[in-house]
Amino acid sequence: MPYKERVIEKSYFTIGEVADMFGVSTSLVRFWEQEFDILQPKKNKKGNRLFTRKDLDNLKIIYHLVKERGYTLKGAKEKLKTQSGEMGKDMQIMESLQRLRSFLLELKADVSDEGDTDPEN
């Protein structure tokens, strides 16, 4: 039986990695940390921020509200206070739909590639 490596998932992400994931600056991530109570990254002895998966999920919600939906910071805070549980579910549904869309687009491309090859030529 061949050896199969386990996929190792990171537990913590640096602020630079987080900023790259969202396509924003590190200063914006620090600003959002100050503005939104739901962001609580851990800090090591040097003071470097270490973001968990939960922090990333919360950042996705904040990013969606502020950058994609155009909420003001005050409006985003209110939305999170009143509908935080619903927002998490909505984000999971959106991510699932995006993965499904990507899969279907890949499938469509594969099918159209197979149709382009003409065996008679």
Residues 62-106 have pLDDT tens digits of 998 899 889 999 999 888 888 766 666 776 777 778 888 888 888
Contact of 49 with 14, CB cutoff 8 Å: yes
pLDDT of residue 85: 62
Answer for the pair 36, 62: CB distance below 8 angstroms, yes or no.
yes
| pLDDT tens digits for range 36-59 | 988 999 999 999 999 999 999 889
Nearest to 56, CA basis, from 99, 9, 90, 22: 22
Pick from 50, 52, 64, 121: nearest CA to 92: 64
* Tokens linked to 69: 């939906």
Q: What is the pTM of this model?
A: 0.66
**What is the percent of the chain with per-residue pLDDT over 70, rounded to a whole number?**
82
Q: What is the pLDDT of residues 13-30, one digit of tens each?
A: 999 999 999 999 999 999
Query: What domains does the chain contain, in order, with CATH numbers?
Result: 13-115 (1.10.1660.10)
Name the pairing type of β-strands 42-43 and 49-51.
Answer: antiparallel
DSSP characters for 29-95? HHHHHHH-TT---EE-TT--EEE-HHHHHHHHHHHIIIIIS---HHHHHHHHHHHHHHHHHHHHHHH
